[in-house]
Structure 1
């Protein structure tokens, strides 16, 4: 018996048997059961389940007309909007594979997401389309995109009918303008509305994919090299779509605020797929705004809200907080960063809400651990969820360690990915077998307390956590080396009162460029060439980086010096 069994949520089994059908069937079945029930709410407009299924099948027909077949990888590069959900399920309807891409990525980064999965078709919003086109056009012709489907945000709402509660002034210049379609050197750009007008759902072949077929290929970075694709099947995602709902006593009456990004594994699986699996309603926010969130929770009687702690901190700090009715909320939680204890206590005291923290990775289809809703611990990863076995092992010997000792968190369960795309070497080093189970090595260090709860203690992997966004220094350094004035760069984390951690670059300039380039110049260049969450917020120039005897940059020494300096600084 594992220690956490004593705190296991009442009435929940320890293991579940998820459906072996395609993820598409979750939408199809919910549309059959609840045709008129709200599936999506966005900018004041409601899509019923029947509306959503019909739109997804229409778009699937259009994608098929562009040549998309079973097994093809299709890029989906969008912020939260109904088109993302429609396109995601349309790709699955064709037994094809969704390649979700972070919309913050710039052209230089996007090249990899075209080349690595051998993608020939991409779907994006008009504000992001130029970056994708630029990335594609810079590649050899045989690797370029053949089709780029571009949607205007206003394709799915009536701009004239919007109120300030739906569309704050800060979003107008982003959501309302109609933008031209970019040109592809080796292919064609298509307007979303034109394709939707051509699609014929009746022409679609039957769904063939089963639980072992590839469904989603999200990318994750690491200590070295370019991001790696995580091979998730219909079965790995299906498990957590089902488990996430069960864990929070989910019912079709759930109304979920969807503001965590659906390109990310948490928003995609724990919010979008989990809601559609049970026939719940998704209230979609394209990006974070505390007052829009307060208004939406009040208006639509939101019951469930998955977030990152900085969102809660921001909402509670709104001068308009007293005007919002948050009484409908019954479950609130998230992960990516620890919730400050004082904020968690205020949630409990003022709203009667326990903040439920969880833990998971792209490789585990979001949660592998989460806190029991009735017995959560603060700043804690929780306990292994349904069907999951997890251990703490010595990272050198892989021997299981006793309770209380710090070691590497390893995970075995049906939601664990099948391996890294085209990377058998990385796959082999990420897994080991023990007691008849295949364990994934998380790279995170943790410990287990006497009740079986897991706590993070450190990271084996070199990673920065900025407001829940994972920043991999090796990836940022590789991009920075493209700057003509930079000879060397080392990325470390620095303390940030709001984000928890921010990115700092320690830079050696080329001899002939010293005095000609400022810290701000470097920051501005980074903003233009990489996703904004990756870019350094602080740049420090040095004459040389510390090196080991083998010539490797001693990043840990720089990191420890930074932590010592910021801990001594006045707060």
Structure 2
């Protein structure tokens, strides 16, 4: 059996909650600015941040919205996001994070599935939030109702079981199917914070332009928690805007950029990049979707810095692999991080493969999720009896331990770093009167990674393409929209959805 171990130093597993661990990186620098709102420039020191967290925690406890309760948060990146996240955690509650582009129906699904007791949002999203709240309390940041949530300072962390208490419930489609609540413990988040700090060679004082959404595990761990807990600063961006991203990186002399492949493409090709002084930049870190050697090499060449990749997934809190800055390798997704092992397994026989052979990537470590909320079957399909997490990605590990993603077993479409489940889009299509059958696949695209496109079988009097697009626009988030609709006489059926989708992709390739 070929099991790949980590060359990084082991992480010391501490008895801390995620907020205690973040505070550890703040207590020694109370007067330093740790959070900046990018568009407005307003800032927050470490002391103010910790005070706000503790007062929100006290208020949530007084309102019976802490222990045993779930707080839903649907907001763009902003300093208040970090306060709410850690206020809930400090109070002993659970937080579930929602995509701000969700429709009312998508909001309703997650609130119901997570048993959320309250939804906190921003005024701009209030109408959608209330539409999906179905009678739950909704509070908008910056209003008197929000201010009323703050109360007496809760000086110490509410006692929680670090391994069993679910502190955060982000939603992921996993290896297949509809979005599921990923149960992550305090231990998961704390260990992964320290694993990433070591693997990424994070330096105290690092400042980054934080556009990666905090509701997504990449932004949550690698931007919010690592920078606060590792002695850095985050300049928040509510959405990606290339001029603002470059301006922040220039003005704050960012040592590192955390990006996704579509942004890496802009860094490699967009003429605007040349108008900014990025001479202080040492590294561009690319993750959330596969990125080939050509892209990372192009970024590195243009910006005169090291371009590295990493690998992870929500179910891994999220980091399992990082390319070390002192030993970069083009195209590699990384080597396994501290306290973690991985192996490549034959998808059919489940036999471990030696270095150099392809197979499904399996990972074991303290960052592996507790499981999927309310879904034992999906949990059992993803985590083996002896603790290996099956990623659904086809990988190869070379003789030096560098892992490369080469294909995907799982059905997910990766659109600009976001997960899009074909099953969810197919269900949305089949809910439209006049559609008899449908299949959705990802069409490779240089800028986006993959574009969701649909093959649709119409019944008599079925909808037009415009009507289908209108239905999707009204019911699904922007990143789940169809970029192409093809009307066909039939959709091929097989025991494997993967085989069916590959057949459809092959058809498109032949046309090209």
TM-score tier, shorter chain, comes to over 0.9
Q: Is the 8 A contact 2:415 2:449 kept in 1?
A: yes
Moved over 4 A (4+): 1-5, 203-206, 222-225, 552-555
Choose the corresponding residue for 1:41, options 36, 41, 44.
36
SS at match of 1:506: strand
Rg larger for = 1
Choose the corresponding residue for 1:284, options 204, 219, 236.
236
Choose the corresponding residue for 2:407, options 458, 474, 498.
458
Distance 1:114 1:554, change over 3 A: closer
Count matched residues: 509
Q: Distance in 1 between matches of 2:428 and 2:63?
A: 33
Q: Distance in 2 between matches of 1:413 and 1:51?
A: 35
Give the aligned partner of residue 509 of structure 1.
458
Query: Does structure 1 residue 354 correspond to structure 2 residue 318?
Result: no
1:197 Cα deviation (Å)?
Answer: 5.4
Query: Does structure 1 residue 70 correspond to structure 2 residue 74?
Result: no
Query: Which stretch of structure 1 is more off in the superposition, 406-415 or 207-216?
Result: 207-216
Distance 1:474 1:292, change over 3 A: same
Give the aligned partner of residue 535 of structure 1.
481
1:282 Cα deviation (Å)?
Answer: 0.6
Q: Is the 8 A contact 1:217 1:231 kept in 2?
A: yes
Instruction: Give per-residue Cα distances to partners, 1:377-409, cap 9 Å, x unaligned.
Output: 222221111111000112233221122221111
What TM-score, normalized by structure 1, do the two folds share?
A: 0.84
Q: What does 1:13-32 align with in structure 2 at a 5 Å threshold?
A: 13=9, 15-32=10-27
Give the aligned partner of residue 383 of structure 2.
431
Give the aligned partner of residue 185 of structure 1.
none
SS at match of 2:478: coil
Q: Is the 8 A contact 1:381 1:454 kept in 2?
A: yes
Q: Distance in 2 between matches of 1:246 and 1:546?
A: 48
Q: What does 1:387-426 align with in structure 2 at a 5 Å threshold?
A: 387-426=339-378
Q: Is the 8 A contact 1:265 1:366 kept in 2?
A: yes
Query: Does structure 1 residue 320 correspond to structure 2 residue 266?
Result: no
- Unaligned residue ranges in structure 1 (runs of 5+): 138-143, 156-190
Give the aligned partner of residue 202 of structure 1.
153
SS at match of 1:512: coil
Q: Is the 8 A contact 1:508 1:542 kept in 2?
A: yes
Q: What does 1:161-200 align with in structure 2 at a 5 Å threshold?
A: 191=143, 193-196=144-147, 199-200=150-151
Give the aligned partner of residue 87 of structure 1.
84
Give the aligned partner of residue 150 of structure 1.
140
What is the root-mean-square deviation of aligned Cα atoms in Å?
2.4
Distance 1:223 1:371, change over 3 A: closer
Q: Distance in 1 between matches of 2:235 and 2:157?
A: 30
1:539 Cα deviation (Å)?
Answer: 0.6
1:4 Cα deviation (Å)?
Answer: 6.9
- Unaligned residue ranges in structure 2 (runs of 5+): none
Query: Does structure 1 residue 560 correspond to structure 2 residue 503?
Result: yes
Q: Distance in 1 between matches of 2:383 and 2:496?
A: 28
Distance 1:344 1:442, change over 3 A: closer
Query: Which stretch of structure 1 is more off in the superposition, 96-105 or 222-231?
Result: 222-231
Q: Is the 8 A contact 2:188 2:366 kept in 1?
A: yes
Q: Distance in 2 between matches of 1:198 and 1:432?
A: 42
Instruction: Give per-residue Cα distances to partners, 1:328-353, cap 9 Å, x unaligned.
Output: 22222121233354442333334331
Query: Does structure 1 residue 251 correspond to structure 2 residue 195?
Result: no
Distance 1:224 1:446, change over 3 A: closer
Q: Distance in 1 between matches of 2:132 and 2:115?
A: 14
Q: Distance in 1 between matches of 2:449 and 2:225?
A: 29
Give the aligned partner of residue 443 of structure 2.
494
Distance 1:217 1:372, change over 3 A: same
Query: Which stretch of structure 1 is more off in the superposition, 193-202 or 392-401?
Result: 193-202
Distance 1:481 1:305, change over 3 A: same
Give the aligned partner of residue 103 of structure 1.
100
Q: Distance in 2 between matches of 1:558 and 1:278?
A: 43
Q: Is the 8 A contact 1:495 1:563 kept in 2?
A: no
Instruction: Give per-residue Cα distances to partners, 1:500-536, cap 9 Å, x unaligned.
Output: 21000111223133xxx32232123212210111111
Instruction: Give per-residue Cα distances to partners, 1:307-343, cap 9 Å, x unaligned.
Output: 1021122244443323211122222212123335444
Q: Is the 8 A contact 2:209 2:249 kept in 1?
A: yes
Give the aligned partner of residue 305 of structure 1.
257
